[in-house]
Structure 1
């Protein structure tokens, strides 16, 4: 059942023609070819088939996209796998942020966190030594919305960022907090920060007394029937080659690497199946409910996926609690660098998932461009579905 009371605030999705122009424009720039095989079942609509054939090669070419799934009214209407199967897991990259946000919401629901007005001083007492009076007063809401002036990551496509190299830090959370103290409060505007999102994962660990992965397994993945066995959450540690750990990670099934203290990377490298992403999208579409169970409160699900702050440099797109919100196109979404996206359309009561295989050291093109293109493709496919508001 789709959310009904909050659809008007999201606006209506853009027309299919304008979406096609936008995505085909990207295709012409990329010069990619499109070649794929379609499954016999389930049969897609003719419009979805057309669009897939037209733009499938945009994301680094057809050798990168691994799965395309579209679901409406809780029923799968389109499913395609390219050189993969439904059981294969992929690094969902930045979609991880939406999972971390949901864990914060569940912790609040359970009284483990008092609310989004709680401060870092209250939430991370173990780090009192590196918190200044100013950073101790930062509210959870500011971290969730990237308005707390944590540093953005570097342009490198790995975990190195600010501090200069997190791999070399004995305590990533302490290093991130110390770096934030040195930066000062900033101006309160949106500044996208993966280190800031990792602080959210540390808050989950502190509040629950377990790693975010184990908490997620208990309160989120198990209710959604997401199989995580065996849990793979190896830690980055001083003296251990991070690339060696990442190579092991790429051979794991469901996995989520952790920092030296056992805090899973709140912003990246969660490995899931495309169908798992579809379930997470459906959960948020249905305002936190799953099989008559309220996995996360409707209050949180709606707040997290509604416009909370304006963004800088992203046009009309707004931001919620680690979810992007596009009122103009009537969707909210999570995106992962390299071509993965979970896009939810409340008006059409639908979810689309694009999953791509882009390894840690992949050198093809611009990963941010690919993630935006994945979102555009998903929105285009959703626009091919019937509009329930009509």
Structure 2
């Protein structure tokens, strides 16, 4: 099977321009938990990189774990309840936003722009209050891709667990999966911290209040991305131990809202819900071609990681849709 998968990938990637091909950092394919293809280009298995908005799926997973251990009570809790110290800057509409709406990006909060940039709040000295002060600017109940919502989820997890999100994630998710985050850097998410971020092997930047950024910039290895997909494929278990509640895996990867033509059909709890070759699938997607896609019927986990990290390189390189089409149109039909 491995040789066949490798041949298909070689053919598919062969259509890329020299420039685009150079942007592919890693391609991993696991079937039934077994690696059948592992390829690194201008990179190594131990090299980490910014997984971009795949971070959102990690944050969503932590919400599920926090609900299971009692740190959070229910998906119906409101922002007014969850972040009471910021209640003074919330309008009644914002205070009534429910945890479920943040997870499905239907709260009507600040939406990312088409070029993937976020609102002015990220330039402020208080991300959370910047988001809350901006208020409801969209249509509640309608999907609008929102990094603001994901960062609020991070703030909620931090407050509910009385720990940094990185510490909580390390104990509850990363260490159980064998992802070693000890000594991970937590630079401030500003341009001046770029050198520290680039130098660190593992990193998860923070806002000015020390809250790990919920929408992106987590640094992981491609194999760590594959572990995230595998634990979801295996209903939340890893090496016989329940890491993520099985019910959360089911709910998080169920489409709760239509998203239109944005690389998927529906959106779950910080996971995109789609199909691949006619089979149900779900994915964690990140800027520039970071992809973790799971096709349960085929026991398939696919990871693409790229060097793409600027708008200019995105414009010249292959899109997320290209990588998703490789999974749907080439890999899935190859498998029994």
User: Is the TM value for this pair above 0.5?
Assistant: yes
Aligned to 2:271: 323
Aligned to 1:383: 332
Q: Structure 2 length normalisation: TM-score?
A: 0.92
Is 1:289–2:237 an aligned residue pair?
Answer: yes
Q: Which runs of 5+ in 1 are unaligned?
A: 1-42, 237-241
Aligned to 2:208: 260
| Bigger Cα Rg | 1
Aligned to 1:373: 322
Aligned to 1:356: 306
1:339 pairs, out of 273, 281, 289, with: 289
Q: CA deviation at 1:367?
A: 8.5
Contact map agreement 1:87 1:273 (CA 8 A) in 2: yes
Aligned to 1:194: 147
Matches within 5 A, 1:101-180: 101-155=60-114, 161-162=118-119, 164=120, 166-167=122-123, 169-180=124-135
The residue matched to 1:45 in structure 2 has which SS?
helix
The residue matched to 1:62 in structure 2 has which SS?
helix
Q: Structure 1 length normalisation: TM-score?
A: 0.80
Q: Which runs of 5+ in 2 are unaligned?
A: none
The residue matched to 1:189 in structure 2 has which SS?
coil
Report the Cα distance in structure 2 between the residues aligned to 1:368 and 1:211, rounded to whole angstroms.
35
Contact map agreement 1:205 1:212 (CA 8 A) in 2: yes
Aligned to 1:53: 11
The residue matched to 2:22 in structure 1 has which SS?
coil
Report the Cα distance in structure 1 between the residues aligned to 2:162 and 2:66, rounded to whole angstroms.
11
Is 1:228–2:184 an aligned residue pair?
Answer: no
Aligned to 2:220: 272
Deviations 1:256-299 (A, max 9, x none): 10100111111111110000011100000111111111111100
Shift in alpha-carbon separation, 1:104–1:170, aligned structure 2, 3 A? same
Matches within 5 A, 1:25-44: 44=2
Q: CA deviation at 1:156?
A: 5.1
How many matched pairs? Answer: 333
